Amino acid sequence: MPRKPIAVTAMSPAERRRKSDEDKRHRGEVRITAWISADAAAALMVLTEGSTERGAIKAAIEQALVRAAVRVRV
């Protein structure tokens, strides 16, 4: 079975990034870039079991935020 083309026309890296960012915003995702305190960094290392991979950090932050929101709602 032939593969479907990703895009009808070729996109530059900047265009691909812009489209990706638009798609994420459409899904309701938000980009957060910030420095965190040493205590928060230590907590993050505990939550990620020392992994510094982007996926592990993202998952730990998402889980912590959702758990915190549930506690606030109660």
Cα–Cα distance, 10 to 15 (Å, whole number): 9
Per residue in 15-62, pLDDT (tens digit) is 999 999 999 999 998 888 889 999 998 998 998 998 888 899 889 999
Running DSSP on this structure, what letter comes out for residue 28?
T
What is this structure's pTM?
0.60
Residue 10, pLDDT score:
81
Q: Give SS3 for 22.
A: helix
And the tokens for 50? 């020392």
